[in-house]
């Protein structure tokens, strides 16, 4: 097993991780385990070759590019659509057709070469190339049923959204909705619903129409989108609050100024009594009295009316101007987003993607507990998204505690959401085709979504003193060199007493002299060896990464280089790959390091094939031939070959004789023989050699029998002349076929 992975034999410095000995050790034991040396080799194993799977079968059943009864390509096929990634309509795809897309920030796409059926070998950006691991982990829920509203700062503009769970309780299950607005700006004085903080409650005159009577109280009613006309209000530039569709102003009843004065819609309101302003805490403040609008009995509820009262900026007093604040529900809960607009990477059979609607009785759950799973929502058009509302499963302890958000305009190219809004910031490096996790995300993997990377002082202290809470060797307590502390044991900080992943024997809170706290762990040295250590490839300084628990420079690691053109690697028009060749931007040539533009080459036809055998023996048949556009293949956007690839020609145009009849034939070197000729099937020209209707055959009559009277319903044989008939100069075609038939179907 060890040799299959390329492991070396253990040296004297290697440590067995079980008392039963080492697989790569010098002596045999009954149930050995791996040593720390073998485990370190396994971590460095470059497994990408496992994904370059060769094509084993050329064809399969019902493959239109293959012969129907043989597992080979048709002569006019270059490849199989079902088996080869660079094949379309049984021909090589045109050079430049995408055959393997980008999977990570450190991957490069592969394109069909134009003269091959297979996609080129999978390559990726060279180790050490700067990449971005700044995706913000958005906090999810803390229980299974409550709705948490998470602000996006900055807001994003997108049509497609992906929620990618990273941390969860029990299983990644969720329900969700998004708050936002149309992508274009909304006028500050445009009509808008007034909605209570995070609740599905909107304000309306109590008669719920556009014709309220005078002094009609403002009350809460249930609503999510609140799009009806009678739910719309305007706060003008002059500060006057109006009920939009009736045109009436909003004021304290009869101009009252006392605590508890009702807020009403009325035609008798005076302008100075109807002036309001919004506070920083989203309360609506009456300018004349300095008091704010409250719910009559403190907390918002359906049917409760609004009153004036002292005190502002409490959460229960928040009134959201949905359009101006860009917090209009975007359609998950209210059904404006249709079921077919909600998809997922996977789902459990009973927990489908379109069940992921906020406050729905059902929910979406991924099919497996993997950080690659996601829920995707198509908003229908580009919208501005301001907030995400997220909820757990509800009827079981499954909820998402932290997630990444990705967004896209076209559903193909995705951007990870970051709180800074900085897309080009780089805080990590590529390693074996992936952007290495930073220390903080590694901490979140162990301690949960609220965890942070510990203060540098935790690394300096714990990873050098080797007192049980820090090491540079996963198998033993080993002090790190000062330059390697960021590549030894991972040091995290979190309010929890213990992590969500049990990677240590014991855990302790250690406070530094600067009052910074370390969530320290005493690592397990047998089970899950290496868990809790900083991962291979983690950035540990400028032009440095962690390798073998040491912070090593790129120069020391001998990371390869690509051609320098105009003082820039790959001329600044591409990236260097693990093959130490440039992957150029479209239109530039990798052969000279992206220095020159590619030159288009038009395709040219190759030679015509031989004609096929005519499909009829008489009465006018057809024969065909074909050619390939391969002399040369078109390259770099050059034109395809003009004209048709196939050509058809008439053949055997002479009239057929009687379709079935007895005729006299003259095999070479033989006297005339009576034979039965069948021109009725498969092109005609079938000569009857033998028929059998009795069990009276013997060695003296099997070659010649009743030769003068051929019949389909009697014993007959002219097998004696079969070779002569086959070799006759009048037999057309390069192949001679025998046909075996039963007297009736099924025999």
The per-residue pLDDT for range 151-194, each reduced to its tens digit, is 888 888 999 999 999 999 999 999 999 999 886 656 778 899 99
Average pLDDT over residues 204-216: 96
Tell me whether the omega of the peptide bond preceding residue 411 falls within 30 degrees of 0, making it cis. no
The per-residue pLDDT for range 535-586, each reduced to its tens digit, is 999 999 999 999 999 999 999 998 878 999 888 889 888 899 999 999 988 7
DSSP H or E stretch at residue 38: helix 36-43
User: How is residue 441 annotated by DSSP?
Assistant: H
Using 50, 70 and 90 to split pLDDT, how confident is the model at 423?
A: very low
Structure tokens at 610: 């031989």
User: How is residue 10 annotated by DSSP?
Assistant: P
Using 50, 70 and 90 to split pLDDT, how confident is the model at 28?
A: very low
Give the per-residue pLDDT at 6.
63
DSSP strand pairing (582-584 vs 690-691):
unpaired
Distance CA 702, CA 421 (A): 91
Give the per-residue pLDDT at 121.
93
Give the per-residue pLDDT at 69.
77
Q: Mean of the per-residue pLDDT values for the chain?
A: 87
Beta bridge partners of 156: 385
Give the per-residue pLDDT at 55.
47
Please compute, for residue 732, the number of CA atoms within 13 A of its CA located in the half-sphere on the CB side.
13
Distance CA 250, CA 165 (A): 45
Beta bridge partners of 305: 219
Place of tokens 């330059």: 483
The candidate with the shortest Cα–Cα distance to 174, out of 330, 401, 343, is 401
Average pLDDT over residues 201-224: 94
Residues in the chain: 747
The per-residue pLDDT for range 482-510, each reduced to its tens digit, is 999 999 999 999 999 999 888 999 999 99
- Cβ-contact 270, 251 below 8 angstroms: yes
DSSP H or E stretch at residue 504: strand 504-511
Give the per-residue pLDDT at 353.
98
Lowest mean pLDDT among 83-92, 426-435, 546-555, 623-632: 426-435
Model confidence at 470: pLDDT above 80 = yes
Most confident of 43-57, 102-116, 210-224: 210-224
Q: Is 99 exposed, middle or buried (0-12, 13-18, 19+ CB in 10 A)?
A: middle
Distance CA 644, CA 649 (A): 14
- Cβ-contact 10, 37 below 8 angstroms: yes
**Which carries the bigger pLDDT value, residue 425 or residue 585?**
585
Distance CA 191, CA 632 (A): 66
Phi, psi (rounded to 5 degrees) for 511 = -105, 130
- Cβ-contact 224, 334 below 8 angstroms: yes
The candidate with the shortest Cα–Cα distance to 619, out of 648, 582, 655, 592, is 655
pTM value > 0.75:
no
Strand locations in 64-186 (E)? 87-88, 91-92, 98-100, 110-111, 130-131, 138-139, 148-169, 173-182
Structure tokens at 440: 């903080």
Give the per-residue pLDDT at 667.
75
Number of CB atoms found within 10 A of residue 506's CB: 11
Using 50, 70 and 90 to split pLDDT, how confident is the model at 634?
A: very high
């Amino acid at each position: 097993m060890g040799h299959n992975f390329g492991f070396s034999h253990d040296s004297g410095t290697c440590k067995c991780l079980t008392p039963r000995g080492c697989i790569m050790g010098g002596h045999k034991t009954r149930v050995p385990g791996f040593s720390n040396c073998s485990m370190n080799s396994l971590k460095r194993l470059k497994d990408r070759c496992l994904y370059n799977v060769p094509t084993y079968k050329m064809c399969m059943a019902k493959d239109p590019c293959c012969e129907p009864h043989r597992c080979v390509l048709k002569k006019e096929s270059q490849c199989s659509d079902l088996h080869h990634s660079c094949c379309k309509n049984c021909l090589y795809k045109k050079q430049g057709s995408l055959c393997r897309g980008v999977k990570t920030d450190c991957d490069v796409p592969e394109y069909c070469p134009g003269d091959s059926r297979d996609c080129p070998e999978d390559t990726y950006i060279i180790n050490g190339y700067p990449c971005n691991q700044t995706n913000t982990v958005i906090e999810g829920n803390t229980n299974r049923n409550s709705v948490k509203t998470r602000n996006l700062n900055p807001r994003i503009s997108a049509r497609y959204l992906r929620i990618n769970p990273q941390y969860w309780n029990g299983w990644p299950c969720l329900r969700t909705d998004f708050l936002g607005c149309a992508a274009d700006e909304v006028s500050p004085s445009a009509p808008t619903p007034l909605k209570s903080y995070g609740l599905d409650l909107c304000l309306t005159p109590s008669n719920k129409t556009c014709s309220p009577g005078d002094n009609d109280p403002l009350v809460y009613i249930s609503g999510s989108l609140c799009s009806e006309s009678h739910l719309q209000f305007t706060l003008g530039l002059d500060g006057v609050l109006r009920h939009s569709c009736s045109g009436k102003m909003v004021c304290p009843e009869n101009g009252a100024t006392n605590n508890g004065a009702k807020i009403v819609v009325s035609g008798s309101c005076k302008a100075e009594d109807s002036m309001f302003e919004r506070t920083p805490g989203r309360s609506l403040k009456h300018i004349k009295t300095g008091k704010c609008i409250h719910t009559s009995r403190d907390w918002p509820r359906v049917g409760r009316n609004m009153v004036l009262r002292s005190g502002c900026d409490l959460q229960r007093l928040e009134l959201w101007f949905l359009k101006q604040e860009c917090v209009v529900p975007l359609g998950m809960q209210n059904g404006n987003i249709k079921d077919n607009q909600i998809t997922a990477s996977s789902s459990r059979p009973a927990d489908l993607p379109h069940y992921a609607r906020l406050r729905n009785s059902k929910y979406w759950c991924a099919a497996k507990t993997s950080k690659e799973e996601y829920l995707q929502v198509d908003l229908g058009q580009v919208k501005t998204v301001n907030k995400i509302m997220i909820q757990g499963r509800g009827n079981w302890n499954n909820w998402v505690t932290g997630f990444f958000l990705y967004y896209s305009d076209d559903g193909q190219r995705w951007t990870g959401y970051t709180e800074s809004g900085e897309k080009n910031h780089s805080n990590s490096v590529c390693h074996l085709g992936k952007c290495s996790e930073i220390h903080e995300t590694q901490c979140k993997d162990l301690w949960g979504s609220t965890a942070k990377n510990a203060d540098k002082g935790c690394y300096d202290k714990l990873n050098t003193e080797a007192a049980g809470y820090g090491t540079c060797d996963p198998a033993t307590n080993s002090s790190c060199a000062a330059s390697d502390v960021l590549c030894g044991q991972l040091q995290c900080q979190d309010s929890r007493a213990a992590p969500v992943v049990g990677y240590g024997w014991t855990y302790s809170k250690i406070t530094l002299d600067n009052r910074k706290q370390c969530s320290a762990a005493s690592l397990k040295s047998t089970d899950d060896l290496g868990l809790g250590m900083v991962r291979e490839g983690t950035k540990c300084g400028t032009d440095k990464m962690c390798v073998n628990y040491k912070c090593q420079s790129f120069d020391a690691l001998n990371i390869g280089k690509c051609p320098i053109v105009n003082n820039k690697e790959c001329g600044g028009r591409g990236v260097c790959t693990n093959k130490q060749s440039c992957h150029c931007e479209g239109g530039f040539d990798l052969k000279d390091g992206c220095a020159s533009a590619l030159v288009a080459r038009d395709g040219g036809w190759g030679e015509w094939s031989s004609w096929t055998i005519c499909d009829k023996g008489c009465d006018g048949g057809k024969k065909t031939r074909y050619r390939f556009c391969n002399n040369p293949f078109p390259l770099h956007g050059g034109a395809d070959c003009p004209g048709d690839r196939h050509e058809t020609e008439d053949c055997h145009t002479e009239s057929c004789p009687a379709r079935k009849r007895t005729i006299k034939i003259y095999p070479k070197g033989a006297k005339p023989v009576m034979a039965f000729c069948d021109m009725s099937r498969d092109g005609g020209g079938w000569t009857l050699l033998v028929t059998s209707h009795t069990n009276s055959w013997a060695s003296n009559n099997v070659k010649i029998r009743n030769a003068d009277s051929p019949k389909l319903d009697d014993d007959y044989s002219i097998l004696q002349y079969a070779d002569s008939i086959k070799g006759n100069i009048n037999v057309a075609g390069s192949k001679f076929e025998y046909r075996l038939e039963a007297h009736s179907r099924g025999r």
